[in-house]
Amino acid sequence: MKAALVLLLSVCMVARDTTHIRMERLLPFSVMIAGGVVMTQLAQQRQYWKVPAPFTVNTGDDYRYAANADKFGHGFAAYAITVGISQGLWWSGVDTTVGIWIAAAVALTNQTIVEYRDATHVARDGSSVPYLGWSWGDMLANMVGALLPVAQHYYRADSRFIEQLRYKFSLHSAGNVERGYFQSILDDYESQYHWLCFPLGAVLGGEQSWWKDAFGIGLGHSVRGTVGTGGA
């Protein structure tokens, strides 16, 4: 509830004009977002952050781990949170510029908490090695993901490409969950795909037409051979 109150007060303090804000929408939306943050943190607490450990920075395999699939995941999470919250704030009558910055701030705060807890906990009872350690690469991905919607907000009138660029995520089982390597497909990087997508019209320019909007280009990233190799 405290997190919902912080979000609600942030909107009211930052917004220059609150006359169009619909509190009957903003209040339940703030509660929903706060509840979602708390639930995801508790879920990760049970699954990953078992025992407290001294703060550790990952200076070893940070940029080799899982062929950077985790970096794409961090970026997508920050992007999705920013887009989702900004849309909800717009629905609640909040100014779009105010909403996009508040959404990005919430996304970065959430992702920073996740990173900090990765750096201060061990994954399993009896282990003396911190779970992952603080990753500057993860934080860079978090910032890129959170600020991409901000850039789209400011440059949408100048660049159709930036406006229509989308960061997407999909799952297709690689069979590792079925073979018992993971409990959830969300833990299996080999089953995860991250995409940067844009319609042809955003690239080709010119007059709009149905075929330019019907077809698009997607640049994807996934990994193989990470199971049992430490993610290298």
pLDDT of the chain, 232 residues: tens digit per residue: 445 445 555 555 555 555 578 888 988 998 898 888 889 888 888 877 878 888 888 887 777 777 888 899 999 999 999 999 999 999 999 999 999 999 999 999 999 999 999 888 876 555 555 567 899 999 999 999 999 999 989 887 666 677 778 888 898 888 888 888 888 888 888 899 999 888 777 767 767 777 777 788 888 888 888 775 444 3
Query: Edge to edge, what strands does the sheet with 216-221 contain?
Result: 166-171, 192-199, 216-221
Collapse the DSSP code of 207 into the 3-class scheme (helix H, G, I; strand E, B; otherwise coil) and give the result.
Answer: coil
Residue 58: give the domain boundaries: 2-155
> 89 and 169, same structural domain?
no
> 228 and 141, same structural domain?
no
Q: Of 121, 155, 189, at which residue does a domain stop?
A: 155
> 73 and 167, same structural domain?
no
Structural domains in the chain (count)? 2
* H/E segment holding residue 52: strand 51-52
Q: Of 124, 155, 186, at which residue does a domain stop?
A: 155
> 52 and 129, same structural domain?
yes
Token couple for 68: 């950077």
Q: Of 100, 128, 155, at which residue does a domain stop?
A: 155
